[in-house]
Amino acid sequence: MSDPILDITGLTKVYAGGLKALDNVDLKIQQGEIFALLGPNGAGKTTLIGAVCGLVRPTSGTITAFGHDMRKHWRSARSRIGLVPQELSTDMFETVIRAVSYSRGLFGYPPDSARIEEVLRSLSLWDKRNEKIMALSGGMKRRVLIAKALSHEPDLLFLDEPTAGVDVELRRDMWALIEQMRQRGTTIILTTHYIEEAEEMADRVGVIRNGKILMVDDKHAMMTRLGRTEARIALAAPLDAIPPALQSFPIELIEDGREICYRGGDGTGKGRAEVADLTKALIAAGIDYVGIDVRESSLEDIFVGLVAEQEAQ
């Protein structure tokens, strides 16, 4: 495996009030991947991004980007990093094109009107280029923030809750844009509350809680390892107890015996096969049913499970 584009080791951040926002975080990000950082509010997601981007001063630990220690070579590293913040923070009195051109210059790149036009067109902002940002809708302002972050063609892009508060159409547009950037080789780290977003786009997923990384894994591997199948079988007649012929299955009676609930499998399809066996066993046992609802656990289920597990500890 090649050297990581971002290597975080033992990163800890304790704020002045004593809050430990990051607790000995280790994280490696490979070039070209899309990494989704999931976690509830206050988990430390934004602090982690802030520490890499220079908004937060780490208490201890090291951050290496592009093979260089960011404490020593921060200018060079930052010129290759883009950040889209969570808050809609823009210069309201500036026009769109000036704001985006300014960002490119701020990061040390020469003016490039073709690049600016390309970015604005890709975000459907070209027609609004001469409008003041204050006149734009919330969704459009978020597009401006993305355009500013992309103006200097970053190799590593941080998206902090990129689709928070935006409509479905814009969310889909952003997913498409992120996919385009992946194809260009841009490494993307995003934080999100929308698990479906991570499920849709990410190659790897990290779960953070109380400043600690609980798990980092390939999205598919995580779903395979922690995924489950849940099936609900509505019975034609309620049962008082699970018949002995079915006791080898991981099932329970719910809804006053009117339904059988199966929870099992491992995210590889084993669960579905077992549900099929269960239905055959039901017929063999003379138990009639009137409906079956089968679903695989989502990343959200896994995330909720992990967080609940940590809370229980």
Partner 1 sequence: MMHFNLRGAWSIYVRELMRALRTAFQSILSPVLTTSLYFIVFGSAIGDRMPDLGGVEYGAFIVPGLLLLTLLSESTSNASFGIYMPRFTGTIYELLSAPVGVAETLVGFVGAAATKSLILAAIILSTATLFVDYHIAHPVLAACYIMLVAASFSLFGFILGVWADNFEKLGIIPMLILMPLTFLGGTFYSIDMLPEPWDTVALANPIVYLVNGLRWTFYGSSDVSIGLSFGLTLGFLALCVTVIAIIFKTGWRLRD
Q: Which residues of the chain form contacts with partner 1 (CB under 8 A)? A: 15, 47, 50, 53-57, 73-79, 81, 83, 85, 87, 89-93, 98, 102-103, 105-110, 148
76 or 248: whose CB is closer to partner 1? 76
Least CB distance to partner 1 at residue 50 (A)? 7
**What are the structure tokens assigned to 223, written together?**
């779903």
Least CB distance to partner 1 at residue 164 (A)? 15
Gap between the Cα atoms of 121 and 127, Å rounded = 8
81 or 190: whose CB is closer to partner 1? 81
- CA distances from residue 172 to 113, 162, 179, 281, 294 in whole angstroms, order as listed: 27, 11, 11, 43, 27
Least CB distance to partner 1 at residue 78 (A)? 4
**What are the structure tokens assigned to 221, written together?**
């591997």
Gap between the Cα atoms of 138 and 150, Å rounded = 19
Gap between the Cα atoms of 295 and 215, Å rounded = 24
What are the phi and psi torsion angles at 28 (to 5°)? Answer: -120, 130
105 or 238: whose CB is closer to partner 1? 105
Gap between the Cα atoms of 185 and 179, Å rounded = 10
Least CB distance to partner 1 at residue 54 (A)? 5
How long a stretch of residues is the chain? 313
- For the chain, list the strands marked E by DSSP: 6-14, 20-29, 34-38, 60-65, 68-69, 81-84, 156-160, 187-192, 204-209, 212-218, 229-235, 251-254, 259-264, 289-296
Least CB distance to partner 1 at residue 114 (A)? 17
142 or 228: whose CB is closer to partner 1? 142
Going edge to edge, which strands form the sheet with 60-65?
Answer: 20-29, 6-14, 60-65, 68-69
Least CB distance to partner 1 at residue 23 (A)? 16
Least CB distance to partner 1 at residue 225 (A)? 35
69 or 277: whose CB is closer to partner 1? 69
92 or 284: whose CB is closer to partner 1? 92
19 or 234: whose CB is closer to partner 1? 19
Least CB distance to partner 1 at residue 27 (A)? 18
Going edge to edge, which strands form the sheet with 229-235?
Answer: 251-254, 259-264, 229-235, 289-296
89 or 313: whose CB is closer to partner 1? 89
Q: With residue 173 as reference, give the H or E element that holds it.
A: helix 168-184
